[in-house]
Amino acid sequence: MGHGWEGVVLKLMRGRDFTFTVTGAEQVTDTFRRVHLTDGGLLAATGGAHPTMWVRVWFEQGGKPHQRGYTLVDPDPAAGTFSLEFALHDGPASNWARGAKPGDTVDATLQGTGFTLPEPKPGRLFVIGDAASLPAVNSLLDAVPGTPATVWFETTHASDERLPFRVDPGHHTLHLVPRRDAGARLVAEVKAALPGLLGAGSSDAYVWIACDTSTTRTLAAYARKELRLPRDRVHALGYWRP
């Protein structure tokens, strides 16, 4: 499968192409699936993985290529393996994941990923995400073990409560927030709680936001403009459009 004009643009932007091979899959919940893959040399070529590292994976629909970003789950550079997790819905990526079986291959392009925690390292994390960004949320929590974190997680399905959250009850507080009014409930709950949690000092805090594009934009503006958090202490990336 060719990658169309998007592939050409990514090539011009020095994107590197790899082919992943499926080794197995797990149905985590009725709406969440994990696919295990070999990396086609990606981790060796990049010297390993960083927290929240993601790739653009190519899928076909109607004879046309479509690319979507997915976070590497449990990358193992020595073995050259990782997994990808899919919040299932209607679409080419979910359709591929539902049918993925050992031996299947899928193309991917590495371009655009990059993440570095600010210095000094955060003393507290405030994380806002949903099923689409759960792999990145878990990757972030894994990267700073023992760091106190408050996580607001927007749920869409009842089964989302059984998703594989990597929360440590000794250091992490998880708030499950049902999606209501196109994300307005999540925004309201974060705005109601975050100022008090930040308290008088916010220099050691780090706010990480990855929800739908509109919700992410609203909360990022709130953290930067109203709470006056420094730009390097707020990371925001919209993961999907309603």
Give the separation between CA 30 and CA 160, rounded to whole angstroms.
9
What pTM value is reported for the model? 0.91
Q: Report pLDDT digits (tens) over 169-226.
A: 999 999 999 999 999 999 999 999 999 999 866 678 999 999 999 999 999 999 999 9
pLDDT at residue 1, rounded to an integer? 57
CB 235 within 8 A of CB 127: no
> Which region among 99-108, 111-120, 165-174 has the lowest average model confidence (pLDDT)?
111-120
> Which region among 12-26, 129-143, 157-171 has the lowest average model confidence (pLDDT)?
12-26
The residue ranges of every structural domain in the chain are: 4-110, 124-236
Count of CB atoms situated within 10 Å of the CB of 25: 21
Does CATH place domain 4-110 in 1.10.3720.10?
Answer: no
CA distances (Å), origin 177, targets 28, 124, 155, 210: 20, 21, 6, 14
Are β-strands 16-29 and 73-76 bridged in parallel, bridged antiparallel, or unpaired? Answer: unpaired
Sign of CA dihedral 64, 68, 72, 77: positive
Domains 4-110 and 124-236 agree in fold? no
CATH code at 124-236? 3.40.50.80
The CA angle 109-207-82, to the nearest 5 degrees, is 30
Q: Is 152 helix (H, G, I), strand (E, B) or coil?
A: strand
Give the separation between CA 122 and CA 104, rounded to whole angstroms.
40
Strand (E) or helix (H) holding 65? strand 64-71
pLDDT tier, 19 (very low <50, low <70, confident <90, very high otherwise): very high
